[in-house]
A and B are shown apart, each in its own frame.
Chain A
Amino acid sequence: MTPLLRQAAAVLLATAVMHAHAAPRDITPAHDSQVIEILPERVSMAASTPPAAVQAARQWIKLARQNADPRYLGRAQAVLARWWGREDAPAGVAVLQATIEQSRHEFDAARRTLERALRREPAQAQGWLTLATLERVAGRYEAAAAACQQVARYGATLHAQACLLESRSLQGQHEQARRGLDALIRAAGDAPTRAWLLSLQAESEERAGRDDSAAAAYQASLALDADGYTALALADLWLRRSRPEAALAALNRQPPGDAVLLRRARAWQQLGDGRWHQLAAQLRERFAALDERGDDPGLHGRERALALLWLENKPRQAWPLAQGNLMLQKEPLDWWLALQSAQDGARAQDLAELVQALARAGLQDARLARWQPGGTK
């Protein structure tokens, strides 16, 4: 009996025994100075002028991102409450409303809010940039490029160029995107902008099938700014290449949101570490909590479908969620998720329709090559 086997058996047993740990658990503090909860920095809840409200809302949005805690999106909405949903809201406030809406995956509401604000006050570079993102996520690359042009028109040249290059890269012009982004990165002054451009470069390289170059760019971006989205993208790359340790390292500094837990579970599963069962149970519990509060399950379709496909190997159950999610957002990962679920779930008809839809959308991505004409993988 090797020590390793014995250890594995012990971990398995311990996991099985502790598995039933679901309901809220009472905390019994031992002494007055025991810390019960870590609170976020204080942000004003009583902003009376639009600039003050915008400032406070931005801080809440930042906290929501940093802590992967959507509760703070509700606070951001509260400080914008006086203008929320109003026709005559200042454009800067409306742009933030759209940001909050898109963070909750309410993409249609976000687009309506933005379009309304930009009709009244078109001189909003940030508003056009956000609209371009929404169009890209919806798979409308021409509309995205048009919004990017507006960003340039209202003065944000660098962001406009990056915006256009990203749209072009999605449509398969990887070489052009690479050269353009390289030039922008060389010219970019401050660290956050460089980090952002590097993450765009990384995604473009990954779509072009150059994983090593992509990983290097992701890492360079993360070294400048430990952004959660970039860390998830890098983790996905490593998981795809069956490098679970590297995936875990990429997620090291990230707060335990659903997407992070899901990827950790997947990495542990690839490593044969039994702890992935606990994480999978924790995820199921979180999804149940969302259902309980009456949230639309479709808004969390990506993580739910990925969990079913990756962790539970249930492509047939993943399929309807993956299909619904693709109606909501059409990033490469969402296409992959739907195509893989249809293929593994032996849904030939659905798969054929998806392949056609992908061709119509015009997205070019090495990860989807086997479903694209002339694809090899």
Chain B
Amino acid sequence: MNSVGLLLSGWAVRWPALALVLCLAAVTPGAQAHKASDAYLGIGEVAAPAQQDATVALRLSLALKDLDAALPTLDADGDRRLTWGEVRRARPQIVRWVEAGLTLRCARTAVLPAWAFEALEQRSDGAYLRLAARLPCEPQAAIAVDYRLMQDVDPTHRLLLQSELDGQLGGQRIAAVLAPNGRSAIELPRHAEPAMARIDEPASGEPAVMAGPAAPAAAGGGIATLANFFFEGIHHILSGYDHLAFLLALLLPISLARRVREAGVTARRGGLGQLLFTITGFTVGHSVTLALATLGWITASPAWVEPAIAITIGVSAALNLYPVRGLRTDVLAAGFGLVHGLGFAAVMTEAGVSGPLLAWALAGFNLGVEAGQLMVVAAWCAVHLLLLRWSHYPAVVVRGGSFALLLLAVYWTIPRLMG
């Protein structure tokens, strides 16, 4: 009776709320809101390393909420509002914690990579801190990862290990899940021929581990590189919302109808000709700077390229609303294309390609961008032809769309300028 009495006296204050937790959590979809704690490790081959033995690139993303639980001093002033200053000052401490809990081996020899802060990033469940490192491994040497971070803090924590998009490891795509309290280790062979990743220590837990052959990357040399970067280019333009917005700003005023000239609507050249000239202009513009920047003949800082890209969208949209006589769209597209090319080049620079494969990569990427662009143009043409006969088309689609793009460009420009 006594223990029940104690329990019930507890109920008077806390239990009803907790009784709710207990009774309803079972039936609460909200309790199953999102996902448990994850960290992400990207691992990829450095295509042409500056030093012969730094052949593997690593990127580790850790949730700040998890770091807070593991490192009680992260929130230095204890106000539970984590500022950039607090994170910045704790970086050395975070790196030491990572070094203690993440063990890496090249060909069975322990190596200690120099982790450096790379960026903060927003994911679907909160803010993350990203560290990057180069792993001093001989080419072809197998890599072993043993992950014990968060072991005491959260037994359901997982590390999601993935090969980076552009630098598959030893020609294979890897996706594995490591559990600090269970299968915490994995060995990744780096043969040119596809092989299965091997898992050590099947202790407990039930992490899913998959590793298998990917596109024939390493073997084919130039052609394989071209193919890889071709898809990278398509992906980049289709997921690069600012390039799409710019393209849309260029396309909006063009009318494929024989004779649609309404007051207040800019039909500068009109028809298919204008479409071809404008798209060609953009292509020539961005291809030139993409090539120059990738080959290292010119350099540009993202600090001005990123806001400049946003400004090109705004200017193009504004010109749709308030046309300037005598200004040729194709010339404008080519000029602004120069800026966008510098943005594309950042992808190539990040991929770290150099040496004999660079020309293949550049060609593949550029062709991919053009292919993606053609898809967008085709999609726009289809929508355009469908809506063309609608009497409100010029007002809603052309002017309304341009206005929306202008707002969007302003919205993008300001933080980019501040950042």
Contacts and interface: CB of A to CB of B under 8 A. Distances in A.
Interface of A: 1, 5-6, 9-11, 13-14, 17-42, 45, 58, 61-62, 64-65, 68-71, 73-75, 77-78, 81, 84, 92, 95, 99, 102-105, 107, 110, 123-126, 129-130, 133-134, 137, 154-156, 159, 190, 192-193, 195-196, 199, 225, 227-229, 232, 254-255, 257-260, 282, 285-286, 289-290, 292-295, 299-300, 302-303, 329, 331
A103 B25 contact: yes
Contacts of A331: 27
Contacts, number: 304
Contact of A36 (B120, B125, B153): B120
A27 B37 CA distance: 20
A-B CB proximity, top 3 nearest: A257-B33, A32-B85, A68-B33
Contacts of B154: 71, 74-75, 77-78
A9 B30 contact: no
A172 to B, nearest CB: 19
Given A17-B408, A29-B120, A125-B8, A36 B127 contact: yes
23 contacts: A13-B401, A14-B408, A17-B245, A17-B248, A26-B121, A32-B83, A42-B78, A68-B31, A68-B34, A69-B34, A70-B35, A123-B1, A125-B7, A126-B19, A133-B26, A192-B20, A196-B19, A196-B20, A229-B28, A229-B30, A258-B33, A293-B177, A294-B207
Given A103-B25, A331-B27, A292 B160 contact: yes
A110 B27 CA distance: 13
Interface centre among A81, A126, A133 (most CB of B within 10 A): A126
B80 A38 contact: yes
B244 A129 contact: no
Contacts of B29: 229, 232, 257-259, 302-303
Nearest to A127: B22
Nearest to B244: A17
A254 B397 CA distance: 36
B17 interface: yes
Contacts of A75: 69, 153-154
A92 to B, nearest CB: 8
Interface centre among B16, B25, B29, B80 (most CB of A within 10 A): B29
Contact of B38 (A5, A68, A81, A293): A293
A156 B158 CA distance: 40
A346 B324 CA distance: 58
A99 B29 CA distance: 14
A40 B397 contact: no
Given A13-B400, A103-B31, A302-B29, 14 more contacts: A6-B400, A13-B405, A17-B248, A17-B404, A23-B239, A32-B85, A65-B21, A68-B33, A71-B154, A92-B7, A103-B28, A257-B29, A259-B30, A293-B35
Contact of B35 (A40, A102, A229, A289): A289
B59 to A, nearest CB: 11
B24 A229 contact: yes
Interface of B: 1, 3-5, 7-8, 11-12, 14-38, 61, 63-66, 68-69, 72, 75, 78, 80-85, 87-88, 119-128, 152-158, 160, 175, 177, 206-208, 238-241, 244-245, 248, 392, 395-397, 399-401, 403-405, 407-408, 415, 418-419
B374 to A, nearest CB: 17
Nearest to A329: B27
Interface centre among B15, B123, B175 (most CB of A within 10 A): B15
Contacts of A84: 155
Contact of A10 (B153, B208, B400): B400
B362 to A, nearest CB: 23
Given A65-B21, A134-B26, A26 B120 contact: yes
B26 A102 contact: yes
A244 to B, nearest CB: 19
A251 B323 CA distance: 45
Contact of A285 (B30, B124, B399): B124
B20 to A, nearest CB: 5
A232 B29 CA distance: 8
Contacts of B120: 26-29, 36
Contact of B126 (A37, A103, A196, A294): A37
